[in-house]
Chain A
Amino acid sequence: MLRIKNLEAGYGKLRVLKRISMHVDSGEIVTIIGANGAGKTTLLYTIAGIIKAGAGEIQLLGAPIIRTKPEKIVAAGCSLVPEGRQVFATLSVRENLILGGYVQYKRKKFQPDQELRFIYDIFPVLQDRESQLAGTLSGGEQQMLAMGRALMAKPQLIMLDEPSTGLAPLIVKNIFQIILKLRAAGNTVLLIEQNAKAALGIADRGYVLETGKIILQGPAEDLLVNKDVQRAYLGREVCNEGARCDLD
């Protein structure tokens, strides 16, 4: 599905991503975890074409998409749900969703009602709010709207940037269940999270990003029990659980 080789990118002279290589296979949930400033968002923005890559390769479904315009990448089947609920605040929920289907109706095979029903099945709350302005929704609803809008483009690969930021734990749980539902429906998900435990809990595979480099990768279960990951990202002091832990 997505294959990245030796990717380098950054802002001006500042190099944020340093020779990143990774891949996402069809039907997987892959998560990238890492601390603030590790380059997680930069990586997603580079894949989506918002940030121009300096060097390396990105392939989506076998076709190179490096230096492709962001709107072409969406049309090629890769949608990004940015962090912080970037909805069209002054438009209604329905209008937001219809605009999400932009690349579909450009191809003249768009049946808005059918597509909307599909989204409302996943996010029933959006149907109740259909004619409300998106800016008046709660944080969790806006996150669902942003996800629903991305799904309207019928992406092969959906990339989520910190969907749990600033949401109440119950809503976070709800969002993660929806991500699982998306995979069950045949979607491929690339998930970026600071909430490493929850992300690894639902993912198939994971990558650990630190200061622009991938320092660890593997099946999610392995990462969950990895001592370095536990110490750095799961907030669990390994020594508290270990039998021998002395103050030395």
Chain B
Amino acid sequence: MNLIKILKNAFLVVMFGLIVTACATKKSVKTTDSTTSTTKAAETQKADPIEKLDALMQGDVYVGSDTVGELASGVPDRVFFATNEIILTTASRETLRKQAAWLRQNSDVTVVVEGHADERGTREYNLALGERRANAAKDYLMTYGVSSDRIKVLSYGKERPVDSGSNPLSWSKNRRSVTVKAN
């Protein structure tokens, strides 16, 4: 009789343990999912399906085509950055090589590289960050044969967003450097 009771209790304990671990695993799987796919995005992006966002952002760098204009036909005017970063992605380098090639062919053109930050930082720091981003793009253009006196940099910090939303996708479009013809 006692033995049965003990066995029964042990069974219950095991069952309970299983349920708890099951819950825990499920939970942890869920969190890793959302952190990898949308980084800090999750909360504000409830309306947007996660898959759609995933296609527009890699890490938190914008890879879509919305807001992207042209410096010249077939030459995109801008590149995007990760939060707080100035590193040029593979796609960004490709864009800048296209810009450099076009600028080499059109040697009378001078440009301004405008550097921008998203709204999630203090104003003064963002001015400095925008300047770093613009210079990262300028340096790359120079590496590909555009002379420095044809490229001016101008940081706008967070003062001139292209997308006025307060969500991770909007912010990713605003972390950018844009090459603009100056003459």
- Does B bind A? no
